[in-house]
Amino acid sequence: MAFQTLAFVLFLAAVCGLYWRLPAGRLWLLAIANAGFYLAAGPANLALFGGASFATYLIGNRVAGPHGRAWLWGGVLANVANLACFKYAGFLTGAAWAHDLLLPIGISFYTFQHISYLVDRRQRSLPAAASYLRFWVYISFFGHSIAGPIMRGHEFLPQIDETAQKRWDPGAMRLGLGLFALGALKKLAIADQLAPTVALYFDAPYALTLGEAWAATLCFSFQIYYDFSAYSDMAVGIGLLFGYELRRNFLTPYVAADPAEFWRRWHVTLSEWIRDYVYIPLGGNRGRYLSASTTLMLAMLASGLWHGANATFVLWGAWHGLLLVGHRAWRAGLGARPAGPLRRNLARLGLFGLVTLGWVLFRAPDVDAAAAMLLTMLDPAGLGTLASVKKLLLLAAGLYALHALEAWGRKDEVGWGRWWVGRTPWPLQGLAYAAIALALMATYPAAQPFIYFRF
């Protein structure tokens, strides 16, 4: 069940209504609802997820005791092997049977949550889940388990433990419905409307002009942002409907002025996971510049490979690794001088252009197609073809302005919220949000799957 469908809205309304009516049975209700959500995608999805989570729970009870290091490595390797079997077997072996395997929904995200739970338990920074019921609700909460945010145990398990004591909060309900409606707007009215244009051009990478290649890639830059941030906004909104606070996963990344800031704003929970469980254990920024840069590159290569079993994703990770290493070298050479408004805005636009070039690697079907598009985009002889796609370039400019407006508006979310709440009774606010979401679903019934569902 995709968030942007009427079936999911009915499912969400039913579960939420029962949740607030039956406080003593909330954990069991959520456990059953989570299982039903995965069962809707097929019994195999539920069986695999349930088996992996139960094994991780049992191992998590042992990693802090005798032979804990062995249990930790066994649990981590088992989870990685499970992910590799379904996601990377074809890439690593080239076997025909491996290419025919269907990727179970949410496997990349719940694998990362499993690993973080085991590592945190081993480091004794996280107490064991009080029961498998609580662990299952934490790992499988349908509001975020398919495509994030990636929630750590210390962030979510304490909230799970307080489930029976949660009280109805009209403010949280309003915000939750508002974020769900905002996500539906981003997904259905923006991301899905860009999808046909992006597909049209990326399906013919060798026949594009410079203007078409840039227009396609700029459109994809906004398609993937509005698609993935839509899911994340809806996930946070769903969490609030049940009294849970999930992490914000996107902080308007295209207004970032340097590569490090971009990764503090783009897919925040994945960036932090890679930092804490890959980059820092490998050495982080300790040691000489070359050693720290190598570690940074390895972390970004891991991030790229996590996205998919394709050389294009590895190259995408390498591209962002080079941007981060290059920025670090630039800062070391010139020092951290304060940037004025003009310089910072130019840096934002320059970084957006570099990030956009990287999206070619992410979206292209293979390395050859990506290389052909990039060579076309960087060939000055084709500048005259920009006029042929001026409408799409103006659309991209408008979407960037909308993105900047979102960044500006989120600086004072509380103030805007007070302004809206002070002028509208809360029942009307909820009805308005629900009406927006339902109207969008009725207007765009042929919704596209979320992009990150394939990861």
- On whether the CB atoms of residues 197 and 219 are closer than 8 A, the answer is yes
Mind spelling out the 3-state secondary structure of 38-68? Answer: HHCCCHHHHHHHHHHHHHHHHHHCCCCCCCH
**Every domain of the chain and the residues it spans:** 6-167, 171-257+339-454
- State yes or no: is 67 an active-site residue: no
The answer to whether 229 and 249 are in contact (CB under 8 A) is: yes
Band of residue 426 on the pLDDT scale cut at 50, 70, 90: low
More confident residue, 96 or 61: 61
Q: What is the structure's pLDDT at 336?
A: 57
pTM: 0.89
**pLDDT at residue 229 in the model:** 92
Catalytic residue among 307, 320, 327, 403: 307
* For the chain, percent of residues with pLDDT exceeding 90: 59
312-363 pLDDT, tens digit each:
999 999 999 999 999 888 877 655 566 678 888 888 999 999 999 999 999 9
pLDDT of residue 284: 78
Q: What stretches of 185-310 show up as alpha helix (H) in DSSP?
A: 192-202, 210-241, 259-265, 268-274, 289-307
Banded pLDDT at 289 (limits 50, 70, 90): confident
For 340, list phi and psi in degrees, rounded to 5: -75, 170
Q: How far is residue 11's CA from residue 91's CA, in Å, rounded to a whole number?
A: 37
406, 410, 413, 416 alpha-carbon torsion, rounded to 10°: -40
**Separation between Cα atoms, residue 307 and residue 70, nearest integer Å:** 28
- pLDDT for 185-232, tens place per residue? 899 889 999 999 999 999 999 999 999 999 999 999 999 999 999 999
Confidence of residue 12 (pLDDT cuts 50, 70, 90): very high
Q: Which of 159-173, 372-386, 394-408, 414-428 has the lowest mean pLDDT?
A: 414-428
